[in-house]
A and B are shown apart, each in its own frame.
Chain A
Amino acid sequence: MAIKFRTKNVEVSYSDKKAIKDISLNIKKNTITALIGPSGCGKSTFLRCLNRMNDVIENCSIKGSVLLDEQDIYGPDVDPVELRARVGMVFQKANPFPKSIFDNIAYGPRIHGLASSDNELKDIVHNSLEKAGLIDEVKDRLNDQATGLSGGQQQRICIARAIAVSPEVILMDEPCSALDPIATAKIEELMNEISETYTIIIVTHSMQQAARVSKKTAFFHLGDLIEYNDTDKIFTQPENEKTQDYITGRFG
């Protein structure tokens, strides 16, 4: 299967503190890849490298290369704005804009000029909500404030918002950490459904979640990539002792 992301010796430091060291990883297209590891291991930092969200943070410097479809995303001719349209992101805490549900979803298509007419925009919003499995819950109140929805719904709005830009990759940074089990289940179901069309990379602190949703899993520890393999392998017969210790709950 084709490789979507190829990272070579990626190293990120904040001021002079190294957050991740020498990460080389190949991420397959249209699969779900999970990044696991104890907190502070650098998995979120790595994730934010993939769509250059680290650019926003002061004093953050990055070395090595990240290739998206064999093109270096840190190359001089790459516009991070364009990149982020291809590599969408869903954050740990649901962050709907304080606007209506419709405007939240329509925001991406609007700024990128994806719709040439109002009707087209409506279609995009409708389709995205449908893909996110939200359409039945919100179709009668598209003009309500998105901030008035429940936490799980807010997070799915954020996913729908990301889908609306039709990205190739969706990065998810612990998307379920603030949600209850039912809402989590719904999001996992949603991830499964959309994984055929999108490459999904998810950071999670829950090993069960990684085991449930992902095909491939990478285990990070203290800024190093310890092990990267098929999820089944990692959870049944890990090669590294640290991985073994972590998934059996000896630390973390």
Chain B
Amino acid sequence: MIRKNIRSRRARETRLKIYGISSICFALIMLATLLISIGLNGYSALQQAYFKVDISVNTEKFVDERDFLNNKKMNLFNWDGLVQSALREFFPEVKERDEKKELFAIISANAGYDLKEIVKKKALGSGSHTLSVWLHLSDDADQYLKGRLSIDIPEEDRRINNKQIAWVNSLVERDIAKLKFNKAFFTSADSREPESAGILGSVVGSALTLFVTVMFALPLAIMASIYLEYFAKPGRITDFIEVNINNLAAVPSIVFGLLGLSVFLSTFGLPRSAPLVGGLVLGLMTLPTIIIASRASIRSIPPSIREAALGLGASKMQAAMHHVLPLAAPGILTGTIIGMAQALGETAPLLMIGMVAFIIDIPTTFTSSATAMPVQIYMWSDSAERAFYERSSLAILFLVAFLISMNLLAVILRKKFEKKW
């Protein structure tokens, strides 16, 4: 009787196992697809198309009496013209006005500005100098050289026409243009021109924001969890606090953004787009996560430790601060790192408080306008230029790598300090 149906019963078990394994495989394959597709999109942003020009510049026009370069005078100088005439020397056949325009479109619109910065950095003395500099090609030429612009589609639908392609090819043949390591990506802030846009501004913005988040959320979380674990008397207020904490942990992040907008910005009048406000909003958002982790960590410390301290005549506060808190610190730290990773990847609340602005300066204070890494990714993937996609992907790779290392750090810390009491 039993033997008869055992085969079908076993088959059912095998089926369940197969469902499980294929579900896990699906999730893992999706993770791989996600990372690989972004990696394939992004790796090319590590390189950037540059071209080399020899430029002669007479600095007499913009040095001041003490032989220092004067900013104002430098800003008035036509650097673009200098670069453009240098470029034209490679292609003397280009004479028509429209044709010239097309030619100048293959180099970065920021090339003149970049040249000025190079001259400024070299702090040349007064006199005539000849410089050999590498400047950016335009994003379209860059994408073409990386093979990311399909040339099969009709010319008029393309961002780069046949003539321009021929120029770029000729520069490459003459070894004047080539792909080099994309330094600007790591050293500059955002820009309208993809070839000059970098992540440094958003990285600094994220760092400033996270600093505020930690300084705000961690002390509050520690104090709140010690209170709830050791001093709170069971009752309605304590229950209500707990319900609130658990619920806040599940409130959509965008709601915290709305809170920040209406309380911090319009009621308190704090500045828009500021890391200070971003940090406070993210702090409120991660507070429940850290409190829950800290309480779990405090609870895992056996009561015997606390009782031993109390038995020696320590006060409740002393037992908590001198004995329990140091032992719970690794757990609290782990929870904090996880909370910070969550805050670092968060985008929606920052959109609400205006950290989505286009900012070309690297932020320096907690109240200066700034953006954050995930917001930068969002803005870049929303841009029309193809070249911003690969930057967005590369920025994602950096962000994800950083987040994974934060999480790994948390796992390692947990393993290292895990104690069986």
Contacts and interface: CB of A to CB of B under 8 A. Distances in A.
Interface string A26-62: 0000000000000000000000000000000000000
B419 interface: no
A111 B12 CA distance: 12
Interface in A63-114: 79, 81-82, 85, 111-114
Interface stretch (B3-11, B190-198, B276-284, B315-323): B3-11
Interface in B1-56: 1-6, 9-10
The size bracket of the interface on B is under 10
Most chain A beta-carbon contacts within 10 A, residue among B1, B2, B6, B10: B2
B1 A112 contact: yes
Given A79-B10, A81-B9, A113 B3 contact: no
B6 A81 contact: yes
Contacts of B4: 113
Most chain B beta-carbon contacts within 10 A, residue among A82, A85, A111, A113: A113
A113 to B, nearest CB: 5
Contacts of B1: 112-114
A86 to B, nearest CB: 8
A127 B10 CA distance: 29
Contacts of A82: 2-3, 6
Contacts of B6: 79, 81-82
Contacts of A79: 6, 10
Contacts of B5: 112-113
A82 B5 CA distance: 10
Contacts of B3: 82
Contacts of A111: 9
A20 B301 CA distance: 35
Interface in B141-199: none
Contacts of A85: 2
A204 B10 CA distance: 34
Contacts of A112: 1-2, 5
Interface string A110-153: 01111000000000000000000000000000000000000000
A85 B5 CA distance: 13
A233 B9 CA distance: 46
A81 B2 CA distance: 10
A113 B10 CA distance: 14
A49 to B, nearest CB: 21
A85 B3 CA distance: 10
Contacts of B2: 82, 85, 112-114
A113 B9 CA distance: 10
Nearest to B8: A113
B111 to A, nearest CB: 65
A88 to B, nearest CB: 13
A82 B10 CA distance: 11
Interface string B266-300: 00000000000000000000000000000000000
B3 to A, nearest CB: 6
Nearest to B13: A81
A111 B6 CA distance: 10
Contacts of A113: 1-2, 4-5
A3 to B, nearest CB: 23
A51 to B, nearest CB: 14
A164 to B, nearest CB: 13
A183 to B, nearest CB: 32
A113 B3 CA distance: 10
A114 B1 CA distance: 7
B157 to A, nearest CB: 62
A73 to B, nearest CB: 15
A112 B6 CA distance: 8
A85 B9 CA distance: 13
A211 B319 CA distance: 52
A111 to B, nearest CB: 7
A82 B6 CA distance: 8
Contacts of B10: 79, 81
A81 B9 CA distance: 10
Interface in B111-154: none
Contacts of A81: 6, 9-10
Nearest to B5: A113
A184 B136 CA distance: 89
A85 B2 CA distance: 8
A79 B3 CA distance: 9
Contacts of A114: 1-2
Interface of B: 1-6, 9-10
Given A79-B6, A81-B10, 14 more contacts: A81-B9, A82-B3, A82-B6, A85-B2, A111-B9, A112-B1, A112-B2, A112-B5, A113-B1, A113-B2, A113-B4, A113-B5, A114-B1, A114-B2
6 contacts: A82-B6, A85-B2, A111-B9, A112-B2, A113-B2, A113-B4
The 3 closest A-B pairs by CB, nearest first: A113-B5, A112-B2, A85-B2
